[in-house]
Amino acid sequence: DTAVSQTPKYLVTQMGNDKSIKCEQNLGHDTMYWYKQDSKKFLKIMFSYNNKELIINETVPNRFSPKSPDKAHLNLHINSLELGDSAVYFCASSRREANEQYFGPGTRLTVT
Amino acid sequence: QKEVEQNSGPLSVPEGAIASLNCTYSDRGSQSFFWYRQYSGKSPELIMSIYSNGDKEDGRFTAQLNKASQYVSLLIRDSQPSDSATYLCAVKPPGGSYIPTFGRGTSLIVHP
């Protein structure tokens, strides 16, 4: 049983397109996150979502938007994709108080 | 500005040696500390968490925390080539924020 799953694993698309990445966790956690890991391997928090409280990293362009239909899902929608959006995107989840995060397998996004 | 600093490495150790990975943090009062291992092309995996000053041992891994000096370290005894990976330090800041700050990671190479 996969604890945190993401789809798709690979995403190749052209500049200007809109795309979504889906994330689901079956751990019963109450908090989910999206991270971006660039080519230098730095793991940068983009969003966290807990009980309808959304915390946004202010450096994230508003072309990126998280959508959470329920506690087990946090999807990432990206509008007007740019070359600089190419990276690996990780979803993670945790219990809010515990902070021990469990990561999904990642989605490698390539914008051409 | 919350900062978590790690030497990017690579740290190269022979098989069977002790690998010592260090992490310093700027936010005095931080309470929760985590070590993640990330193999190339894979997602981060939680290997240790530590909350109190002193040592915490789990198999070949020992986490050491010194809040007065604001550093946390990870020792890997009897290093194996399979331990070759990037090790990420994460620190939960004090106060209401539950989002940990990640360091940039230290690359460890264990050579036979």
Of residues A50, A1, A33, the one with CA closest to residue A103: A33
Size of interface A-B (CB pairs under 8 A): 47
| Residue A1 pLDDT exceeds 70 | no
Whole-angstrom CA distances from A73 to A3, A33, A102, A109, B29 are: 12, 10, 14, 20, 32
Question: What is the four-CA torsion angle of A9, A109, B39, A59, rounded to 10 degrees?
Answer: -130
Q: Answer whether residue A70 shows pLDDT above 80.
A: yes
- In this prediction, residues A31-58 reach a mean pLDDT of 87
- Judged against a pLDDT cut of 80, whether residue B20 lies above it is answered with yes
CA distance B92 to chain A (A): 8
Instruction: Quote the percentage of chain A above a pLDDT of 90.
Output: 71
Query: Which residues in chain A have Cβ-Cβ distances shorter than 8 Å to B102?
Result: 42-43, 45
Given a cut of 90, is residue B100 above it in pLDDT?
Answer: no
Mutate to test the interface with B, among A25, A27, A41 (most CBs of B within 10 A): A41
Rounded to whole angstroms, the Cα distance separating A105 from B2 reads 27
The percentage of residues in chain B with a pLDDT greater than 90, rounded to a whole number, is 81
Distance CA A95, CA A79 (A): 30
Phi/psi at A84 (nearest 5 deg)? -70, -10
Residue B68 confidence (pLDDT) above 90: yes
Q: What is the mean pLDDT of residues B3-12?
A: 92
> Which tokens is B53 given?
């000053």
B24 touches chain A (CB under 8 A): no
Count the neighbouring beta carbons within 10 Å of the beta carbon of residue B78.
12
Give me B25's structure tokens.
Answer: 């943090």
Q: Which of B42, B98, B102 faces A43 most closely, judged by CB atoms?
A: B102
Which residues, in sequence order, are CB contacts of A111 under 8 Å at separation 6+?
Answer: A13, A14, A15, A81, A82, A83, A84, A85, A86
**pLDDT tier at A110 (50, 70, 90 boundaries)?**
very high
Structure confidence by residue, pLDDT tens digits, A85-98: 999 999 999 987 77
pLDDT of residue B1: 58
Residue A106: the pLDDT is 97
Per-residue pLDDT reduced to its tens digit, A76-87: 999 999 999 999
